[in-house]
Amino acid sequence: MADPSTALPVAVRPAGTRSHLQDAVREAGGRLVDPDEARMVVWTDVSDTEGLRQLLVDAPQVEVVQLLWAGVESFAAEGLFDDGRTWACGKGVYADPVAEHAIAMLLALMRDLPARARATSWGPQWGTSLIGGRLTVLGGGGITESLLGQLAGFDVDVTVVRRSAAPMEGAARVVSPDATLEAIGDADAVVLALALTDETRGVIDAEVLAAMRDDAWLVNVARGPHVVTDDLVTALRDGVIAGAALDVTDPEPLPDGHPLWTLENCLITPHTANTEAMAVPLIAARVRANVQRMTAGEPLIGLIDAELGY
């Protein structure tokens, strides 16, 4: 049996939170300690960037910070990633359920399920099929990788727009962001699955919406500020696109009475592509894996690029 005193010292903070993460540390052979003894900190409060900053000032010996989320823009905005430490996040952890949700929302729109769920009479036949269709995905990370795999049975022609134009398995083509307008012009649907950065904030605006077909659908399972909300409301009202499915919005939560709630061609879910019940075992597995990897001197999973901010 390994000597507990030589086990990797890990602090899970803020205190009193996330017992499943503490269990994950122990299961990986780590030793739970206070921050002033830790080599790794697992930070569990997405809203408390200042608390994390202060912890790291008080515990300069910490080598690795593990965040739990793929969306870490608030930490990047505070400049926390530039401190010379190794930072890891939850990128890729939630890819499968989020990709699944994107497909569910897209199928619901294309089959007119929101309207039929509220219907009280038979009504006309209507609906389109995803099978054999054309899809454009903005973003080339873990969600897109999972989405491409899950779409394999639909025989969909997929174009991926991402920073690197390197091929992706399951994509018919991969193009760089300067080809965005061309890539979305003949798509049946556009799915947003990209990180939020200064470059991608407002990437879907009036110009991009106008470049989509008027029978095309928009699905956002990434971050709300990717979409200029007022432009989307106008496009949905005026029939510029067929409709939108949003798991994330700007602002979020979307206030009661917001115009998006009144539009029949807009399907909204309250950021539930990945629920806490889904997330608990997934992020625990990531923490467990990274504690084991750090102990073994192996590269961590989900490393953050300080320059890119994610």
Catalytically active residues, by annotation: 223, 252, 271
Query: Of 225, 159, 195, which Cα lies nearest the Cα of 302?
Result: 195
In angstroms, the CA 183 to CA 160 distance is 8
Whole-angstrom Cα distance, residue 153 to residue 261?
33
- Sheet containing 134-138, strands listed edge to edge, beginning at the edge strand earlier in sequence: 173-175, 157-161, 134-138, 189-192, 217-220, 243-246, 266-268
**Residues 148, 171: contact at Cβ < 8 Å?**
yes
Residue 183: which of 172, 193, 170, 199 has the closest Cα? 172
Beta bridge partners of 276: none
